[in-house]
Amino acid sequence: MGIGLPEKGLDQQRLRWRDRLSVKQARIAVGLTLLIGLLFSGIQIVWDLREEQNLIDRTVNQVLATLRESATQAAYGLDETLAARVISGLFEYEPVYEAELRDNFKNVLARKTEKPINSNRTFLTQIMFGENQEYEIPLNTDGPNGLVGHLSVKIDTDMIAEGFINRASRILLSGIVRNLLLGLVLVAFFYITLTKPLLGIAAQLRQIDPEKPDSAAINIPPHHARNELGMILQTTRGLVERVSSTLDRLLESQQKVRDRESRLSAIVQNVADGILTITPTGRIIECNAATKEILGLMRDETPKGRTLHEFLLPRAVPLLEHSLEELAAHAPGAEAVEKRFTLPIVRADQKEIDVSIALRLIPDSATPLMTAVLNDITVRKRYEEQLVYMANHDTLTNLPNRSMLERSLSEALNTHKNNASERSGATAILFIDLDRFKVINDSLGHDVGDLMLKAVALRLQRVIGRQEIVGRLGGDEFLIIIPDLKETQDAVILSQAVLDALAPAFDIKGRVLFVTPSIGIALYPSDGEDFPALMRNADTAMYSAKSSGGGTYHFFTKTMNESAMARLVIENDLREALVKDEFELHYQPKVDLRTNQVCGLEALIRWKQPGRGYISPMQFIPVAEETGLISRIGEWVFREVCRQISEWEAQSLPPMPIAVNLSPRQLIEGHITETISRILAETATPAARIVLEVTETAMMQEIKKAATILDELRHLGLKIAVDDFGTGYSSLAYLKRLPINSIKIDRSFVRDVTIDTDDAAITRTIIAMGHNLGLKVVAEGVETQEQMNFLRECNCDEVQGFLIATPLPPEEIVQYIRRPSIDIPSEI
């Protein structure tokens, strides 16, 4: 605690300091004035000395010049009397103490000497004027021998110096007295006019409270209102006002800083992350409450003074030490650097947790310190591990998903490539697709389908060995990887094991279900050297197995690849054909057997590709069905038929129905009702003019759904016909449940009705059954007169086929329709 002087003692001390300051200033002012006076007096004396020296020279030369003529006559005439008068005249100038007149032969004509003044200032005289001075002038005439003599004088400088020193002393003394008085006057003047007012200002400033400065405490006397002191007082008052305002803002800022520090301290103490202040050696200086919770310390325990190393697993200590050293070695004042890493910590309760730590140097710290922010990431790390697992596994079956299968296969292939010289064999993949799984999904629901997929996954897991990997690619597709296939027969054995495992019935929600797999096998390196190539070829082999009836396995062959490439080319060309409008419609007529007149048409699509001509529908329709392009093609066909109907109505062509084939994919997967309704509305086509032909097989795939869609189409006003009737595998009783208008006997029965009694019996039965159900019966594929006669005898309603006419372009079919009747025999 400091010891201070009483306030009264401080004032007395300030007064003594003020008096001392005033006396000192007075002495300095007087001394400076005297010095200035002495300086100027000295300059004046030096100047007068120079003038005095010049005056002596001028005076002596003037005296000699005055007597030169008389002295020349005396020397020329050797007149001693005249010479004596000349010499006597020289002594009229008091400083002369010796004079001499000589002829040119150095004979003295006259000479006079007096004793010089003996002065005690000789040394000073020598400094000012030097030794006694001598002057000599030559005496000349105008004759051929001009020089007749010399006149010389000596001057007593002591006499001159004595007078000069007396004058200089008076000048110096008067200057000292004058300057001393002037200094005293100036001191008094400045004390009254400046020092005293300034002391008054100082007294006013001393009365201002430093903590609460008030400008009103500064009083400006009226007589100083317009002078410099008044300006000083006004400036000081303004300064005090600004200081007061600044001080208020400073106090307000300090309060805000204190409030912010309080809030920051509260935040630090309540934040969930542990915040510590540590030294470069890891010793803990400060910490918040969350740190104790993270470290598992009790409320009354503190980690202060301990090192962070004590809470780490031994393997993590080097990482922390290295990071602390690296951060401490960072240049001070440089850009801030932060170190982030994860450390395993052993809590006080011996529980191990993972902590994310962020280290940062504290800038402008007197001693090197760091902040460490701890965040318990144990839960997050587990969550991340779970996310990684979910990212690599199928959520439904918990099998590896496509990305993980791709990595596993790539690793197996790289192992083969790196050790190609040391190991033989191959890597095989089995691409598994469940046959007719879509029927289960669509008919029983996706929940049953998901349970079926789980059950399939469990059986596949039991089949594989330790080296094999099984995963789900998506949907009903699975993949088995055999990393090290010793013999091709091993892939066959595993494929057969998969077939055997999936052969027994599945009990799904009390339902007994069966499923068979189609398996495609591809081998590395013969069938591909990377994941995409092997997958593509295995997929091709799988489709080959599925096309052969399913429930089997096929190895990939180059022939399959060529077929797949051909399908791909057709697919690309189909897409381009849709854009470039390369499709055409041809129309095949139907003839009523009772009237022999055209009673309807069937629209058949034709594809005329530039440079290749017409491509058979048998080539591109299956590809369109497989790729889904059939929906776009079918929509184009329906729109084109509606346009053609409008055009023929404008040509006054007799109205007749036109049949349009509806593919299974259009019927089941698409939004056929909305599409047809929209096109009919856009083209203003009567719905009764359209007959939709649906194959029996397509309807039987999902009869309930097909019946619903066909019923919707019937409500639009369209007519429904069953195409290829008789080729289905189900009972004919479904005819009662479907909203159909007619049936078409498949050409496979019509072809042999005249030579095969079974086909003839079936055809008669179909015609009779159709009529009993009130349906119109159409026979297609009629190519001979015998077939025509047989159908006429069986009371078949309509026929179509090459015997009647081949499919014709629109302009040719118009001419055919305009005929009054069709004489079948005459056409043959």
- pLDDT confidence band for 422 (50 / 70 / 90): low
- Mean pLDDT, the chain, whole residue set: 82
Can you tell me the mean pLDDT for 556-579? Answer: 76
Which CATH number goes with the domain that contains 344? 3.30.450.20
Q: Which residue has the higher pLDDT, 698 or 153?
A: 153
- pLDDT confidence band for 305 (50 / 70 / 90): confident
On the question of pLDDT at 49 being above 70, the answer is yes
Return the sign of the alpha-carbon dihedral for residues 151, 157, 162, 163: positive
At 646 the pLDDT is 93
On the question of pLDDT at 551 being above 50, the answer is yes
Domain that holds residue 544: 392-556
On the question of pLDDT at 682 being above 90, the answer is yes
Q: What tokens does 112 get? A: 């006079």
Flag the least confident range among 118-132, 738-752, 757-771, 784-798: 118-132
3-state secondary structure of 555: strand
Tell me whether residue 242 is in a domain: no
Return the ∠ at Cα 224 (arms to 218 and 225), rounded to 5°.
80
**644 and 602: one domain?**
yes
Burial class (CB in 10 A: 0-12, 13-18, 19+), 550: middle
Give CA torsion, residues 291, 293, 295, 298, to 10 deg. Answer: 110
Tell me whether residue 252 is in a domain: no
Tell me whether residue 826 is in a domain: no
Query: Within a 13 Å sphere around the CA of 163, how many CA atoms are in the beta-carbon half?
Result: 11
- pLDDT confidence band for 267 (50 / 70 / 90): low
CA distance 116 to 123: 15
Which CATH number goes with the domain that contains 475? 3.30.70.270
Which CATH number goes with the domain that contains 717? 3.20.20.450
- pLDDT confidence band for 366 (50 / 70 / 90): low
DSSP states along 191-225: IIIIIHHHHHHHHHHHTS-SSS--GGG----GGGT
**340 and 470: one domain?**
no
Give the residues across from 108 on adjacent strands. Answer: 102
340 membership: H or E segment, kind and range: strand 338-346
At 9 the pLDDT is 54
Give the number of other Cβ atoms within 10 Å of residue 616's Cβ.
9
**445 and 549: one domain?**
yes
- Give residue-wise pLDDT tens across range 254-265: 888 887 777 666
**102 and 129: one domain?**
yes
With contact defined as beta carbons under 8 Å apart, do 86 and 112 qualify? no
CA distance 120 to 284: 94
**40 and 142: one domain?**
yes
Which CATH number goes with the domain that contains 91? 3.30.450
Q: Which of 614, 590, 827 is nearest to 721 (CA)?
A: 590
Helices (H), 652-739: 664-668, 672-683, 696-701, 703-715
**628 and 738: one domain?**
yes
Flag the least confident range among 35-49, 114-128, 414-428, 473-487: 114-128
**411 and 373: one domain?**
no
The domain boundary residue, chosen from 525, 556, 587: 556
- Give residue-wise pLDDT tens across range 752-778: 999 989 889 999 999 998 898 889 999
Chain centroid to CA 520: 46
Can you tell me the mean pLDDT for 567-596? Answer: 88
What is the chain's alpha carbon radius of gyration, rounded to the nearest angstrom? 67
On the question of pLDDT at 331 being above 80, the answer is no
**490 and 609: one domain?**
no
- Give residue-wise pLDDT tens across range 70-121: 888 888 888 888 888 888 888 887 788 888 888 888 888 888 888 876 655 5
At 730 the pLDDT is 45
With contact defined as beta carbons under 8 Å apart, do 374 and 311 qualify? no
Give the residues across from 360 on adjacent strands. Answer: 338, 371
On the question of pLDDT at 516 being above 70, the answer is yes
Flag the least confident range among 222-226, 616-620, 672-676: 222-226
What proportion of the chain, given as a percentage, has pLDDT over 90?
24
Chain centroid to CA 396: 37
Tell me whether residue 401 is in a domain: yes
The number of residues making up the chain comes to 828
Tell me whether residue 763 is in a domain: yes
Q: Which of 444, 499, 441 is nearest to 475 (CA)?
A: 441
On the question of pLDDT at 537 being above 80, the answer is yes
At 26 the pLDDT is 66
Query: Per the omega criterion (within 30 degrees of 0), is the bond before 303 cis?
Result: no
Q: Which of 294, 296, 289, 273 is nearest to 350 (CA)?
A: 296
Can you tell me the mean pLDDT for 515-519? Answer: 93
Can you tell me the mean pLDDT for 548-553? Answer: 86
- pLDDT confidence band for 268 (50 / 70 / 90): low
**432 and 549: one domain?**
yes
**57 and 116: one domain?**
yes
Q: CB-based contacts of 624: which residues, under 8 Å, 6+ apart? A: 574, 630, 633
Burial class (CB in 10 A: 0-12, 13-18, 19+), 750: buried
The domain boundary residue, chosen from 152, 172, 192: 172
- Give residue-wise pLDDT tens across range 186-201: 777 777 777 777 777 7
On the question of pLDDT at 426 being above 80, the answer is yes
CA distance 255 to 260: 8
At 556 the pLDDT is 86
What proportion of the chain, given as a percentage, has pLDDT over 70?
88
How close are the terminal C-alpha atoms of the chain, in Å?
A: 137
User: β-pairing, 517-524 with 426-434?
Assistant: antiparallel
On the question of pLDDT at 423 being above 70, the answer is no
The domain boundary residue, chosen from 157, 172, 187: 172
With contact defined as beta carbons under 8 Å apart, do 34 and 183 qualify? yes
CA distance 26 to 137: 59
CA distance 700 to 725: 12
3-state secondary structure of 553: strand
3-state secondary structure of 602: strand
CA distance 221 to 233: 9
**398 and 378: one domain?**
no
At 733 the pLDDT is 61
With contact defined as beta carbons under 8 Å apart, do 233 and 202 qualify? no
Q: Which residue has the higher pLDDT, 548 or 638?
A: 638
CA distance 653 to 656: 9
Q: Which residue has the higher pLDDT, 667 or 564?
A: 667
How many domains would you assign to the chain?
4
CA distance 91 to 113: 9
At 71 the pLDDT is 84
**584 and 541: one domain?**
no
Return the sign of the alpha-carbon dihedral for residues 765, 771, 775, 778: positive
Q: What tokens does 707 get? A: 């019946």
Tell me whether residue 324 is in a domain: yes
Helices (H), 581-629: 617-627
Tell me whether residue 570 is in a domain: no
The conformational region for residue 605 under phi > 0 = left, psi -120 to 50 = alpha, else beta, is beta
Tell me whether residue 127 is in a domain: yes
On the question of pLDDT at 5 being above 50, the answer is no
CA distance 444 to 255: 74
